[in-house]
Structure 1
Amino acid sequence: MDKQDAIETTAVDAEREERVRRIIHVDMDAFYASVEQRDNPELRGKPVAVGGSAARGVVAAASYEARAFGVRSALPSVTAKRRCPDLIFVPPRFDVYRAVSGQIREIFSEHTDLIEPLSLDEAYLDVTENKQGITIATEIATIIRARIKEVTGLNASAGISYCKFLAKMASDLNKPNGHAVITPKHGPAFVEGLAVKKFHGVGPATASKMERLGILTGADLKAKSLSFLQEHFGKSGAWYYDIARGIDHRRVDPDRERKSVGAEDTFAVDIADLGEAKRELEPLVAKVWGRCEAHGMSAKTVTVKIRFADLQIITRSRSVPTVYADRDAVLAAAEMLLQGAYPFPKKVRLLGVTLSSLEQGDGTAEAQLELRL
């Protein structure tokens, strides 16, 4: 065993000696669409898309009936309607979603104060020490899911594990309306058998890079040394090294503050045309604005990220003195930023949109902007 391997083995042994935590990841099932189906009996059992319209816009959320046809969030409405001709579009009601989310948060707080919301419809809970004195996390998850159903009429799924990464992965295993457990004994083997493209936090671009390096599964990732992963993935290398072994040191943080909201997409075929690139901005803007609106927030700054075919990255930002008024204002700013970078020096491989300088409350006026390059 060389020196590097000895250091890496010591780190793993130290982690095993750490007190085992009990983490629950609760994720509501098709939250926005389920609320709409709950409140309108005529929508129950039917394919429903929240947001957009048959003619324009993008889907913010889809019911399970719609998902069966391949309808997903951020999908252009025209494409969604083509995939599912009977699709019913309903406008989002974020005030209602926030109210329901508040009810769910109160249920969480009956068991622990260590709650880290990720969005209106999902959160991490650390129940290692809990208010009810229940020693089995699965029992707590069962109680919470039943209580959510009783109070809101909605279904929730849950993942239970010893770390956040595996709790998040587990919550998807028995959706909808189910839960799954990944124990410390089975955690490493679960990760080894998982395709890296399914890892939470590994996007399409990173998954493609890993594939080029011969990393297709967690076992392939585990076979790489820490130095190799740091060489190819920089600061993220240590994170990939740990999760390949089922290790996640992150704590549930109840004081976590969202500083920005972003989304990006890597294209199957590089883009050279400005009009095509602008069309790709719309689902990205819809996604980030929807997240802000769901939290009753708006933003002062829009940033567009452009990655070219040679992997060069540029960003362009635009700010307002107050906040952006609505999604159309954000889209207009993003399109102007993109146009400012045209003609593109090379074909575009990836586009991203980020909203930052977030503030509570909806925008009421759109101020004159100054372009910052």
Structure 2
Amino acid sequence: MSGLFGGWEGPAIGLMDLDAFFASVEQLDHPEWRGKPVIVGGSPDERGVVSTASYEARPYGVHSAMPSAQAKRLCPNAIWTHGHFDRYREMSAKVMAILADETPYIDQVSIDEAFFDITPGRFSRESPISIAQRISARVAELGITCSIGLGCNKTVAKIASELDKPRGLTVVLPGTEAAFLAPLPVRAMSGIGGSAETALKRAGIHTLGALAQAPLERLRPVFGTNAEAMRLRAAGREVSSVSAVDAPDDVKSVSNERTFAHDLTERADVEAALALLGESVGRRLRRKGLAGRTVTVKLRYTYGSGHTAQRKLPHPTDDENLFVPVARELLNTIWQPGMPVRLLGVGVSDFAQEGGVQTDLFCEVDERGAMSSDRRDLAVAMDRVRERFGNASVSFGRAARFGSDIVRPDKFLNQNKPRD
């Protein structure tokens, strides 16, 4: 490297992914477990799901979102733990503080993963590669490790972070994005799940290079209106932005509302939509490390009027398996079958003070009073699959009920987001 900023020109966006995070923290806290297969997840005797497997367990075929019973058959000598979410939150906060020391532009996408912008001249005048190396070294000093991908946009950084684990640093220099992406399989890019991969292969598209060069008419049956965006991402030409980090106190509520192209009048449709919205809210709550006490349901009829209903829970939660049933009960107070629903929304608010109350992964009520169901481990596992392979990679059957009928995107409500 030579010249100003080590020769780096243009945007520099990194993706830091903590290596086998939950399992690594358990091995840090239990030195006798180091070098041994460790699985964090639900009980294999109670239809649990694997949340994280240590690198020692992975050669046996164990991976996140796998049924615990199957993982036990593959790796019978593994050490099992239900996890200690408070401890994971503590370690995550220390890692995010390291990123904050380097740049104010951070987009934390989960407890163990964050994008960060270290574009030369935007905040720092140092080489982005040097900054990434320093971040990796400082994380290692905590007793865990991370893998970092560094490139010109989020897609490149995300893919690069997956290529050299654990404790890897994969740098895609400016101008080399297309060559880096071209030979990779289409599934390497987030947002391409199993069904999209199958459809692309039927169209003769196996690599990201082929996807980048494919005519739009071949891509629209697979991606719809997102065809051009996916083609740009595959070519390494996505334009990404990372906003200044959110302060937790700025988040007043996490909500999701959708407007439907066709009015919903049947109970099954409205309740399915409510459940889908609740899934998104639950995922966002867990991503932000928040748990709330108040559940809100909002609806608007086709002729313009609408209603809102709220209920306060006895304990805070981030588990849609608990707050969606409450939302259904609230719905019954403001809606009857046959009434045309144009817009529906679900929200959770009233977050605990002093940093928030966060549920444990597998407890009904933790020591601070937050509650979760016995299905929360499945929700956490689905979060991780979606973060890695895209939102469409795993879903319940109710999602098929709507297809592309939802015309308004998800959004946060009542959140004071800082600007760049």
TM over 0.5: yes
Instruction: State the match for 1:243 in structure 2.
Output: 233
Q: Per-residue displacement from partner, 1:107-136 (whole Å, max 9, x unpaired)? A: 1111110011011111111111365531x2
Q: Per-residue displacement from partner, 1:82-102 (whole Å, max 9, x unpaired)? A: 000001111211111111111
User: 2:76 aligned with 1:85, yes or no?
Assistant: yes
Instruction: State the match for 1:133 in structure 2.
Output: 125
Indicate how the Cα distance of structure 1 residues 140 and 365 shifts in structure 2: closer, same or farther if over 3 A, else same: closer
Secondary structure class of the residue paired with 1:357: strand
- Of 168, 176, 182, the residue aligned with 1:192 is 182
> Alpha-carbon deviation of 1:250?
2.0
The 8 Å contact of residues 226 and 237 in structure 1, kept in 2 or not, is answered as yes
> Alpha-carbon deviation of 1:76?
1.1
Instruction: State the match for 2:148 in structure 1.
Output: 158
CA distance in structure 1 between the partners assigned to 2:245 and 2:228 by the alignment:
25
User: 2:88 aligned with 1:97, yes or no?
Assistant: yes
> Alpha-carbon deviation of 1:231?
5.1
Secondary structure class of the residue paired with 2:148: strand
Report 1 or 2 for greater relative contact order, CA contacts < 8 Å, sequence distance ≥ 6: 2
- Of 280, 290, 297, the residue aligned with 2:291 is 297
CA distance in structure 1 between the partners assigned to 2:319 and 2:89 by the alignment:
22
Indicate how the Cα distance of structure 1 residues 99 and 91 shifts in structure 2: closer, same or farther if over 3 A, else same: same
Instruction: State the match for 2:30 in structure 1.
Output: 40
Indicate how the Cα distance of structure 1 residues 35 and 294 shifts in structure 2: closer, same or farther if over 3 A, else same: farther
Q: Per-residue displacement from partner, 1:156-202 (whole Å, max 9, x unpaired)? A: 11111111110111111111011011123321022221110121221
- Structure 1 stretches of 4+ with a deviation exceeding 6 A read 288-291, 324-329, 331-334
Q: Per-residue displacement from partner, 1:254-275 (whole Å, max 9, x unpaired)? A: 35789579xxxxxxxxxxxxxx
The 8 Å contact of residues 60 and 290 in structure 1, kept in 2 or not, is answered as no
The 8 Å contact of residues 259 and 358 in structure 1, kept in 2 or not, is answered as yes
User: 2:45 aligned with 1:50, yes or no?
Assistant: no
Q: Per-residue displacement from partner, 1:46-90 (whole Å, max 9, x unpaired)? A: 111112123121111111111111111111111110000001111
> Alpha-carbon deviation of 1:289?
6.9
CA distance in structure 2 between the partners assigned to 1:101 and 1:81 by the alignment:
28
* Higher mean C-alpha displacement, 241-250 vs 21-30: 241-250
Secondary structure class of the residue paired with 1:206: helix
Give the counterpart letter for 2:114 in structure 1.
A
The 8 Å contact of residues 157 and 175 in structure 1, kept in 2 or not, is answered as yes
- Of 201, 215, 218, the residue aligned with 1:225 is 215
Give the counterpart letter for 1:295 in structure 2.
G
Instruction: State the match for 2:102 in structure 1.
Output: 111
Secondary structure class of the residue paired with 2:136: helix
CA distance in structure 2 between the partners assigned to 1:54 and 1:365 by the alignment:
22
The 8 Å contact of residues 94 and 294 in structure 1, kept in 2 or not, is answered as no
Give the counterpart letter for 1:183 in structure 2.
L
Indicate how the Cα distance of structure 1 residues 216 and 143 shifts in structure 2: closer, same or farther if over 3 A, else same: same
Pairing 1:195-206 to 2, within 5 Å after superposition: 195-206=185-196
Indicate how the Cα distance of structure 1 residues 332 and 212 shifts in structure 2: closer, same or farther if over 3 A, else same: farther
Give the counterpart letter for 2:19 in structure 1.
D
User: 2:161 aligned with 1:171, yes or no?
Assistant: yes
CA distance in structure 2 between the partners assigned to 1:36 and 1:105 by the alignment:
19
Give the counterpart letter for 2:101 in structure 1.
E
User: 2:140 aligned with 1:149, yes or no?
Assistant: yes
The 8 Å contact of residues 49 and 63 in structure 1, kept in 2 or not, is answered as yes
The 8 Å contact of residues 24 and 144 in structure 2, kept in 1 or not, is answered as yes
The 8 Å contact of residues 109 and 287 in structure 2, kept in 1 or not, is answered as no
> Alpha-carbon deviation of 1:43?
1.1
CA distance in structure 2 between the partners assigned to 1:227 and 1:291 by the alignment:
38
Q: Per-residue displacement from partner, 1:307-350 (whole Å, max 9, x unpaired)? A: xxxxxxxxxxxx9834697799818979xx9xxxxxxxxxxxxx
User: 2:53 aligned with 1:59, yes or no?
Assistant: no
User: 2:65 aligned with 1:74, yes or no?
Assistant: yes
User: 2:210 aligned with 1:216, yes or no?
Assistant: no
The 8 Å contact of residues 110 and 131 in structure 1, kept in 2 or not, is answered as no
Amino-acid identity (%): 35
Give the counterpart letter for 2:244 in structure 1.
P
Give the counterpart letter for 1:108 in structure 2.
L
Q: Where in structure 2 are there 5+ consecutive unaligned residues?
A: 1-8, 257-278, 298-308, 329-344, 352-356, 359-368, 373-400, 402-420
CA distance in structure 1 between the partners assigned to 2:319 and 2:104 by the alignment:
38
Indicate how the Cα distance of structure 1 residues 260 and 66 shifts in structure 2: closer, same or farther if over 3 A, else same: farther
How many residues are aligned here? 288
Give the counterpart letter for 1:52 in structure 2.
G
Indicate how the Cα distance of structure 1 residues 237 and 186 shifts in structure 2: closer, same or farther if over 3 A, else same: same
Indicate how the Cα distance of structure 1 residues 253 and 60 shifts in structure 2: closer, same or farther if over 3 A, else same: same
